Structure 1
Amino acid sequence: MGDRVTSEGNSYRIVSPSLTVKAMRDSGYKNTAYALAELIDNSIDANAKLVEVFACESPVQVASRTSHRVETIAVLDNGDGMDAEALRRALKFGDGRGDDRKRIGRFGMGLPNSSMSQCTKLEVWSWTNGPGNAMYTYLDLAEINNGRDDVPAPELDPLPEYWRDLSDGLGSSGTLVVWSDLDRVNWHGAAATLRNTSDIIGRVYRHYLDAGSVDIRMAPVRDGAVIEGQYYAAPNDPLYLMASSQTPEPFDEQPMFEPFNMGSEDEPGVAYFPITVDGQQHRIKVTASIARPEARRPDVEDRPWPESAKATKDAGSQLWGKHARHNIGISLIRQGRELDLDSSWAIGYDPVERWWGIEIDFPPALDDVFGVTNNKQTATIFSSLAHFDWKSEAEADETFKAFKDRLADLGDPRLELIDLALYLETKLLPAIRRQLRQQTVGNRKTKKRHDDVNAKATDAVKRRSEDGHTGKTDDLAEGASPEDKRQEQFNALTQRHHLDEDTAESLVNEALENDWRVRWISSYQDSHAFFSVDLMAGMLQVIFNEKHPLHAHLLAVLEEVPEDATPDELRHRLDRAADTFKLLLFSWARMEDEIPNDRKREKIADARQDWGRYARDFIDGEDDGE
């Protein structure tokens, strides 16, 4: 059987104290803000109405000047507090209050793990009958490294006056957690620490903050007093549907996004996915949002950009656009609290990604299905399904059902989420991206270039018409009133090509005011053609098919250029567009090559000749002599 006797002093411990210390320190928290979130979780679970976060700084000499550095971080709440037994258990790794799925923090790891990831000493006071009756205990990494393996028994120790004086809402019950000997805090000064923390705290707890169920006070401290710069955390909503939020003006008091066109009148922008686990059915709630037109365009009637906006820059370069750039991805919500903002679902190089939001709200019972980690930093199984392509994993001639049956036989943990992932990847996100690209048709960034092209093409159309080369658009314009033209164009843009009404109205007004006879838009077309044509009264409308690969390889490369693109990136885009244009002409040549008889091939060649003459007339403005 072997010798199973062990002792504290022998050299055959399964885990050494030094390894325990390293594991506690390297527990995977992204930064100080996420570690602090674990403490706020505990406060909310304890029914706190006020959570106060203090960053206490002290002067340090840096070269020839005096600076300030945070030396202590504390979280104080007015929740239920803990008795001595609960307090001692709370500092025990892997115990806490056990696997209680009704709590935000379920694993009993949050308080010690998060604290020791940032500091070398953790102190906790907790009271249920006045702060004068607080119980106190602590963890010290130096003691643990020297062999200590039990949590010190809590002792009666009234809450120090220092913290009582700093508090704005000290309760008859509550808890104070203090981190000292900070050696892994990401930021130096108190203001910087809280500023970088509040964005994440505001996003993680946005639903609690928006509902008013908890307030989170962010307070910088110097010389034992709260200094200028304290504030209460505001919601940071990556879906931008909350009326009051951290978003810069003009969207600090009004939503910047709107629900995406799905769901019901009672729940716009919402869809539900049922999942059955161990015979019990659960619902996953999917909420989707998309930027309002006025967030991306300065010319929406009655909703202009503020005077403080940079007039020569596009929406992504405005303060609200820069804010949205930091909130890209799918937000995972568990028990009302954001688990992760998973950016792996976004197309990293595409600036349009900042203008949509998706939230996945799931119950704690689905933690294992999503792959929730102990420190609540991510959901590994869900993240692994970003850009999932089942066909690349399927066996030869395997159907989707057969593929899923095989995964079930193999016990693949991804199985329960595959339908959700495919819905997001192949239906919802493509539909959102199509609408977003339509929003900025004729936006300010490309407006001057488009205006010049429209004017030049309109001149060519008018010149040919005056020379007797009339088309159907000319015939339809005979007898059509301006209002008839307006309504026909508006209906085509909104009903046939699904542009939003504000964008459509702007385009129609612009065309009528300038007497333009042409318009270029992009739209999703269920066709193999890379472009199509609408012939309307006085308007020749060309629609570039977003479904066709040419759109992504040519138009998107040339027009959807980030403001901060480097010269190398611009050169790469031009090279890619040039190669695509050559392939486009080669495809035409091969089409002619494969025509089965000479007569049809001659007709195609004649069409090529005719198109060349029209192209010369439009590009050079010369009469072809017909």
Structure 2
Amino acid sequence: MERAAGAATARRQRVEEVVPAAARTILSLRDIGYELPQAVADLVDNSVSHGASRVSIDLHFDGTDSWIRIADNGRGMDTATLTESLRYGSMRDYDSDDLGKFGFGLKTASTSQCRRVVVASRRALSRARIEVRALDLAQIERTNRWEILIVGPAERPGHLVEPLKETTGTVVLWEDLDRILDYKDPWGGWARRKLLDRAEAIAEHLGMVFHRFLAGEVSGHKVEIHVNGAAVDPWDPFCRNESGTTALPEHDFRVASDEGMGIVHVRPFVLPDKGEFSDASAWQRASGPLKWNRQQGLYIYRANRLIQWGGWSRIRTIDEHSKLARVALDFSPNLDSAFGINISKAIVKLPTDFRDDIEPVVNQVARIASQRYRKGNETRPTGRTGASPMTPRPAFPAHPAPAASGLTPPATATTTRYTDHVLSAPTPAGSTGSSIEPPIRRAIEAAAQAAGEQEALQRIVDSLRRTAPEVASDLGW
């Protein structure tokens, strides 16, 4: 036994603590990858997680003394919690539906935009006491120590504590906006306009990512958000208030993560075509911040908060014909590791097995969206003087669409599945076809034959059918 104890002592590794250099590290953490709207949204996450029913964002221009304030009426923080909130990698427990995760968001989001962050909090209405702490990059650069400042009553500007006079809650104040007012003349009219123009971008972004909370769709979490005094309206990516929107069958998929198995809920939608919207303004609003083509695709929600809005995550390519297709994916924070969620919650990666599972669902909703888009194009004028509506192009022989995880289209929809064709196959007898597409296809095929690359072209066509079936069908393949 004594020999075993001695061996254990001999194997014990000697260690020496190495604390990261504060100044260099904190400056590096400023470049995690936040844009201003995303940085504000990260602070709104904290407000929602602390039970706020109202969040106010104000942008105030005053040259080099300009500031941005995010104030809420949530539960507030006591002294110890407030101090801990300014620690990088703060130690606190997260609920299963908490929008926070890593203990970095408040700090990294704030310092990505400014050099001084002041946080004031009031915990109880029965007490007028307001605690204030500040994270100041200039202080850390001077001392090279992980320090925060205790801000006394005499050092607190009125616009910091004013929102807490009659309510509990927390105020985050961004000062020294070096990343926002990056102008040679921070007092100029251009700087003023740019700062105030940011309010519109912030409101648009918050209306999108928190639309479920704003619309009262999350039980017990109805939230009002105001930007410079104006209420933020929710933006529903799926236009569910439009009678022409088609909701396809929903599905649940099991996904494994480091924390065990979880469920991803999938809901596909096909939006109305332009002529089917209730009015032109509704169509324009539905185009979203990225506009129609880039807003098609997957809308990924983590604990009801939108973290990806559009794009197909390498399942298929963005295509004009499928721009009416949008698919909601919902998962809980226990699947963060599986989806590769980062600190800014701006990057999400679909697990490989899950991507394979939902590919049939994605392809089917894209097919139905493409049919709706084409049908709308057939009935709309081309816009050229004297032009008649587009002549429909005959489809290739259709077969019933294969079942995908039990997914079937609505009874009113028809889906077609384009079969493989010999590249040189002629246009079906009696078909007028398109006056443009067949010559393009024939020219490509003739060029491949002349170059002796028919097999290479066949591989390209096979890949095109998988990744962009609408484009393949347009070309007659």
Cα distance in 1 for partners of 2:338, 2:302 equals: 13
Change (3 A) 1:198 1:352: farther
User: Does the CA contact (< 8 Å) of 1:78 and 1:173 recur in 2?
Assistant: yes
State the Cα deviation string for residues 381-428 of structure 1 (Å, max 9, x = none): 32xxxxxxxxxxxxxxxxxxxxxxxxxxxxxxx444243353355444
Q: 1:581 is matched with which residue: 420, 438, 442?
A: 442
State the Cα deviation string for residues 56-96 of structure 1 (Å, max 9, x = none): 112x5xxxxxxxx8810011110000000000000000115
Q: 1:205 is matched with which residue: 206, 210, 215?
A: 210
Cα distance in 2 for partners of 1:452, 1:101 equals: 54
State the Cα deviation string for residues 16-42 of structure 1 (Å, max 9, x = none): 23321222211221x111001111011
2:144 is the alignment partner of 1:176: no
* Count of paired positions: 406
2:374 is the alignment partner of 1:437: yes
Change (3 A) 1:284 1:93: same
> What is the CA-CA distance between 1:436 and the residue it aligns to?
3.0
Q: How does 1:521-540 map to 2 (within 5 A)?
A: 524-526=417-419, 528=421
Q: 1:343 is matched with which residue: 305, 311, 317?
A: 311
- Structure 2: runs of 5 or more not aligned: 1-11, 182-190, 392-397, 402-407, 451-477
SS of 2:56's equivalent in the other structure is strand
SS of 1:55's equivalent in the other structure is strand
Q: 2:79 is matched with which residue: 74, 79, 84?
A: 84
Cα distance in 2 for partners of 1:356, 1:144 equals: 49
2:270 is the alignment partner of 1:290: yes
Cα distance in 2 for partners of 1:2, 1:96 equals: 27
Kindly report the root-mean-square deviation, in angstroms, between the aligned alpha carbons of the 2 structures. 4.3
2:139 is the alignment partner of 1:143: yes
**TM-score, structure 2 length as denominator?**
0.71
User: Does the CA contact (< 8 Å) of 1:215 and 1:232 recur in 2?
Assistant: yes
> What is the CA-CA distance between 1:218 and the residue it aligns to?
0.7
- 1:237 maps to amino acid: D
Cα distance in 2 for partners of 1:431, 1:240 equals: 17
Change (3 A) 1:84 1:285: same
SS of 2:76's equivalent in the other structure is coil
The range that moved more, 126-135 or 340-349, is 340-349
Cα distance in 1 for partners of 2:230, 2:259 equals: 47
Change (3 A) 1:348 1:176: same
- Structure 1: runs of 5 or more not aligned: 7-12, 61-68, 220-229, 244-254, 264-269, 310-314, 383-413, 455-492, 505-521, 534-539, 545-553, 560-576, 590-626
Cα distance in 2 for partners of 1:275, 1:198 equals: 34
Change (3 A) 1:374 1:583: closer
Q: How does 1:540-579 map to 2 (within 5 A)?
A: 542=431, 578-579=439-440
Cα distance in 2 for partners of 1:235, 1:35 equals: 19
Cα distance in 2 for partners of 1:170, 1:259 equals: 48
User: Does the CA contact (< 8 Å) of 2:323 and 2:369 recur in 1?
Assistant: no
Q: 1:357 is matched with which residue: 294, 309, 326?
A: 326
Change (3 A) 1:153 1:98: farther
User: Does the CA contact (< 8 Å) of 2:271 and 2:369 recur in 1?
Assistant: no
Of Structure 1 and Structure 2, the greater helix share is in 1
Change (3 A) 1:417 1:319: closer
2:22 is the alignment partner of 1:22: no
Larger Rg: 1
Cα distance in 2 for partners of 1:290, 1:526 equals: 24
Change (3 A) 1:114 1:376: same
2:54 is the alignment partner of 1:50: yes
Q: How does 1:465-544 map to 2 (within 5 A)?
A: 524-526=417-419, 528=421, 542=431
User: Does the CA contact (< 8 Å) of 1:132 and 1:157 recur in 2?
Assistant: no
Cα distance in 1 for partners of 2:258, 2:57 equals: 41
User: Does the CA contact (< 8 Å) of 1:132 and 1:159 recur in 2?
Assistant: no
Q: 1:104 is matched with which residue: 83, 86, 99?
A: 99
**TM-score, structure 1 length as denominator?**
0.56
User: Does the CA contact (< 8 Å) of 1:101 and 1:365 recur in 2?
Assistant: yes
Q: 1:35 is matched with which residue: 39, 43, 46?
A: 39
> What is the CA-CA distance between 1:143 and the residue it aligns to?
1.2
The match for 2:456 is: none
Cα distance in 2 for partners of 1:279, 1:104 equals: 17
Q: 2:227 is matched with which residue: 213, 218, 226?
A: 218
> What is the CA-CA distance between 1:290 and the residue it aligns to?
1.6
User: Which structure has more RCO (C-alpha within 8 Å, separation ≥ 6)?
Assistant: 2
SS of 2:100's equivalent in the other structure is coil
Change (3 A) 1:109 1:543: farther
Cα distance in 2 for partners of 1:353, 1:157 equals: 59
User: Does the CA contact (< 8 Å) of 2:89 and 2:104 recur in 1?
Assistant: yes
State the Cα deviation string for residues 334-357 of structure 1 (Å, max 9, x = none): 011011225254876633444221
Report percent identity of matched pairs: 21
> What is the CA-CA distance between 1:274 and the residue it aligns to?
2.3
